[in-house]
Amino acid sequence: MVGGGSAVNGGHAVVLGGSLAGMCAAAALARHVGRVSLVERDALPEGPHWRRGVPQSRHTHNILRGGQNALEELFPGLRARLLDAGMAEVRWPDEVRLLLPTGWLCAYPSDYTIVCGTRPLLDWLLQCRVRELSRVRVLERTTVLGLTGDAAAVRGVRAQTRDASGVAGEPFTLDADFVVDATGRTSRTPSWLAGLGLPAPAETVVNAGTAYATALFKRPAEPTAPWKSLIVQATPQAPHSAILHPVEDDRWVVSVAAMGGERPPTDHAGFLEFTRNLRTPLLYETIRDAPLVGEIHGSGRTENRRRRYERLSRWPDRFLVLGDAAGCLNPSYGQGVSVAALCALDLARAVEAAARGGADPLTGIASGLRRRVARRIDAAWTVSANTDLVYPWTEGEPDLAARLGGAYVNRLLRTATTSPAVAQAMTRVSQLDTPAGVLFSPRVLLGALTGR
């Protein structure tokens, strides 16, 4: 648990990007830093509404258990607030039907629950919490143009504000003792580093050519099935997947995905037909008579892409990149939000540890933190990118973990359909709640050896 914190210096931290990673980073820093400025290009909505800077918020946002725990530490009491706002609680695995590539995940005893709701509602509730933090001020309609400082340390940012009619003001400089880039997958840090005289990071891309379509449906107020959530994973022979979760206002959010460049339909009839041809008819049977709410939206921004900042031999102090800006992951595995929240928690802990030791909490922590961010991405990458590499059409090179682990993971996937011990271990790793090492514990190894 990170401490409540008090301002130990008059420092000023600037967080770039006011979406999920930015809000988590602002909350993390506000515990020990005198002032935090959160700089966001968009005007933030007054309520749980879609906005341009987060186009993916129309799609299912499955928040893994590891991410839910991290969010709760950063924003104590958040879970209760999400449920009060109408989000749904789902017991895992009893209330989930998960069709793995190898068959249905078997049942096992568990006290896991996950909270399901729409992304705009999550963002809105986080925004309300951030605005309650007296040390945080939010600068909306402000675009970050670059960093100031030099190769040794970042000293601030250059930014430009637009008024409500879109007219740009004069660019200005915001001095800072620490800067966090949380501007998402379009982050310009590689060129900003070049401006400080530093090399660009290498990039690793694994692209399964996944495309999404997402629809909301009205669900009956009384449940019609013993399960609440349904997940259908793809196989190389049947490369269509789907996910259904209950969300606020008695609705289901349903996302379907195709791979290898195919795009799922965004008209109602085509969407239903797509679900009818999945590996199980369960989703089609559930939604075929349910009223569609609003339009169906598509998205193709799904490749796994990471920037290897941890490999650069020189890194400016007082600067950190996190969230999608550091690494984005195929959303089919639902990890992006959780990785961002876990990295922000690492930031909170590093600042807290430095403050406890009596040091300036913002100096000297950046380089270690960039490695910790990389390790968080590694854990998620092992699940998402390495699974995508199973498909023959995926672009990208398998790394060592993928080469060594592929056959074993396949074996575990088979066993998870019959062995509760293996099913539980695999779930905890894919929920980013436990390090992957648990898959090599004696209990799981034995399960894999003796299981189906």
Angle at the Cα of 10 from the Cα atoms of 6 and 15, rounded to 5 degrees: 85
Residue among 40 and 352 whose Cβ is closer to ligand FAD: 40
Q: Name the H helices within 308-419.
A: 336-356, 366-388, 400-415
- Token couple for 288: 């075929």
- Pair 287, 275: CB distance under 8 Å: yes
To ligand FAD, the closest distance from the beta carbon of 452 in angstroms equals 30
d(CA 388, CA 400): 15
Residue among 38 and 444 whose Cβ is closer to ligand FAD: 38
To ligand FAD, the closest distance from the beta carbon of 337 in angstroms equals 3
Judged by the rule CB under 6 A, the positions of this chain that interact with ligand FAD are 16-22, 39-42, 53-54, 56, 59-63, 143-144, 182-186, 212, 299, 301-302, 323-325, 331, 334-338, 340
Residue among 8 and 23 whose Cβ is closer to ligand FAD: 23
- Token couple for 81: 């607030």
Phi-psi region of 255 (alpha: psi -120 to 50; beta: other; left: phi over 0): beta
Residue among 90 and 106 whose Cβ is closer to ligand FAD: 90
Tell me which H or E stretch contains 137: strand 136-139
For residue 55, is the peptide bond before it cis, meaning its omega torsion is within 30 degrees of 0? no
To ligand FAD, the closest distance from the beta carbon of 417 in angstroms equals 24
Closest C-alpha to 246, from 230, 258, 269: 230
To ligand FAD, the closest distance from the beta carbon of 426 in angstroms equals 18
Task: Sort 88 into a burial class: Cβ within 10 Å, 0-12 / 13-18 / 19+.
Answer: buried
- φ/ψ of 331, rounded to 5, equals -65, -15
To ligand FAD, the closest distance from the beta carbon of 331 in angstroms equals 3
Residue among 290 and 377 whose Cβ is closer to ligand FAD: 377
Distance (Å) of CA 12 to CA 52, 78, 137: 28, 26, 11
To ligand FAD, the closest distance from the beta carbon of 298 in angstroms equals 9
Residue among 105 and 444 whose Cβ is closer to ligand FAD: 105
Residue among 2 and 25 whose Cβ is closer to ligand FAD: 25
- Pair 304, 205: CB distance under 8 Å: yes
To ligand FAD, the closest distance from the beta carbon of 9 in angstroms equals 26
To ligand FAD, the closest distance from the beta carbon of 381 in angstroms equals 13
- Pair 324, 340: CB distance under 8 Å: yes
To ligand FAD, the closest distance from the beta carbon of 20 in angstroms equals 4
- Token couple for 221: 């107020």
Residue among 182 and 366 whose Cβ is closer to ligand FAD: 182
- Tracing tokens 């961010």 back to the chain, one arrives at 373
d(CA 72, CA 94): 23
d(CA 286, CA 225): 9
Residue among 71 and 106 whose Cβ is closer to ligand FAD: 71
